[in-house]
Amino acid sequence: ARQSVLAAVTGPGATSDGHAVPLLANIGGPRDVDGALRYGAEGIGLYRTEFLFLDRASAPAEEEQTAAYLEVLNAFPGGRVTVRTLDAGADKPLAFLPPWGREPNPALGQRGLRLYEKHPEIMNAQLRALARASLQSTAKLQVMAPMVATQEEAARYVAACRDAGLPSAGVMIEIPSAALRASDLAAEVDFISIGTNDLAQYTFAADREVGTLTALHDPWQPALLDLVLMAVSGALEQGKPCGVCGEAAGDPVLACVLVGIGVTSLSMAPPALPAVRAALSLHSREQCLLAAQAALATTTPQEARGAARAHLPGLA
């Protein structure tokens, strides 16, 4: 019994009936790798590369980027490392590029992937640096784009990744248009990752920086769950894996619901990993499915959580 408790705390993520759900970490750079390993991350599901680019007079050199990526890749030999290319703009302005401050609605402006159109040199340098790091490591590098809205954007991004020689290219689904057309996007990519933080912001027209709007950012909102279901269904229709890397993945009850919806991996802040691992290990895939169906049938976040919990005994 002691051994199984220990496995539930440190082993790979799986439901009680052995359905594997890789549990990955969200990190901001090499200095977060120790924490990810300490909490038993099986890999990285979201490496936010913005921190390499912020607060500096010019873009980081390719060599500097390669060194940072390699440090993260080398921490997970044989494992999966998902790097998100630069997601600047809005709340993350770049000091070395013309200011976004003049945009009336920065969250709806030239942010994320949209920046690459005007500054392809930034994206291409990053993709080259990533490809070089990948060649020097045994980790499985996956590269993904932030803030993708259309199939055309996904196709262009994947083409750039292939040109750079990258082994795996995907997109985040964090804009409702991308969730609505997830199958079209999935057809273009190797994998999908749902970012529930921005997906909530854009679905509820509620700025994530505005603290008084937290009720609308609740990942248990049934409309958000509907969009997650839509995104996952679109990905699975095309036979592509679909993870979640927004804060929603770190809630143990919601993690079970996401697995019930069909999500294939979960990525979260490292300290959330043990509780999610334990929650999954206590429940079967069937229980997760029933919890998901019950949550999706409700009309408020409170009811959704309550309905899910009824199928997941032992969770707070």
Residues belonging to the active site: 245
In whole angstroms, give the CA distance from residue 165 to residue 269. 30
CB of 30 to ligand PEP, least distance (A): 17
Residue written as token pair 């005994």: 313
- Which of 68, 307 has the CB closer to ligand PEP? 68
Residue 221 contact among ligand PEP, Mg ion, none, beta carbon within 5 to 8 Å by kind = none
Residue written as token pair 């990942």: 219
In whole angstroms, give the CA distance from residue 284 to residue 16. 5
197 annotated as a binding-site residue: yes
CB contact at 8 A, 92 and 50: yes
CB contact at 8 A, 234 and 191: no
Binding test (CB under 5 A) with Mg ion, winner from 198, 207, 247, 251: 198
Phi and psi angles of residue 170, each rounded to the nearest 5 degrees, phi first = -140, 180
CB of 197 to ligand PEP, least distance (A): 3
In whole angstroms, give the CA distance from residue 150 to residue 156. 10
CB of 195 to ligand PEP, least distance (A): 3
Structure tokens at 316: 């707070």
By CB under 5 A, the residues from 268 to 307 that bind Mg ion are none
CB contact at 8 A, 225 and 304: yes
Residue 196 contact among Mg ion, ligand PEP, none, beta carbon within 5 to 8 Å by kind = ligand PEP
The site for ligand PEP (CB under 6 A) is made up of 46, 48, 174, 195-198, 245-246
Residue 46 contact among Mg ion, ligand PEP, none, beta carbon within 5 to 8 Å by kind = ligand PEP
Binding residues (CB under 5 A) for Mg ion: these are: 174, 195, 198
Binding residues for phosphoenolpyruvate: 48, 84, 197-198, 208
